[in-house]
Structure 1
Amino acid sequence: MSVHDELTVIQRCLDDLSRSVSRLEQRVGGGSLEIRRVRTDADHLRESVALLREATTAPAAQQRSDLVTISDTPYDFSLWTDSDDEGLGARDRRAP
């Protein structure tokens, strides 16, 4: 199955869940904390699937725009001679 097909199946399941929760609300009553939590969770799932659908349909160039190429060449160690080891203090001093 393709990603689009999988998302369509998930959407159908969420539609079924929403209908079931609505029927349950009618039987139990929509005022209880538990049923409101189930309704809210189902709505969050629906929103998450919508965001996932948008992310998967975006062009690949837009999805990878935050990547930065890092060279494999070693750093110049002279850049770090005047710095302290982070969190360890200076080399020639002792901790209090």
Structure 2
Amino acid sequence: MSVHDELTSVQRSLDELSRSVSRLEQQLGRGGLEMRRVRADADRLRESVALLRDAAPGPSQPRRPELVTISDTPYDISLWTDSDDEGLGARDRHAP
């Protein structure tokens, strides 16, 4: 299942949650602390999914990795004075 399909499924579930919370508010009233917290949490979930939907790539556009720029300037040669030449061994030793 694609990200778009998953987000659509989550949105449908949140719509059902919102309807259920509305029915509870009609039965229990809106004034209680617990009911206000449930409504606020449901609304916050809805906002979070909307942010995810905005950040997710669309079904036709794949997510591209972020590019990292590598400078063309040479490295400081003093960084490599204590290292071996890779694959060649140390300067003062012989191969077996």
Indicate the TM-score class for this superposition, using the shorter chain for normalisation: 0.5 to 0.7
Once the two structures are aligned, what percentage of the paired residues are identical?
71
Distance 1:77 1:37 in 2: 61
**Higher helix residue share:** 1
TM-score, length-normalised on structure 2? Answer: 0.63
Query: Which structure is richer in relative contact order (CA contacts within 8 A, separation 6 or more)?
Result: 2
1:1-96 paired onto structure 2 within 5 Å: 1-57=1-57, 60=63, 64=66, 68-69=68-69, 76=76
RMSD: 2.7
The runs of 5 or more residues in structure 1 that have no matched partner are 79-96
TM-score, length-normalised on structure 1? Answer: 0.63
Number of aligned residues: 74
The runs of 5 or more residues in structure 2 that have no matched partner are 79-96
Alignment CA distance shift 1:18-1:77 (3 Å)? farther
Structure of higher CA gyration radius: 2
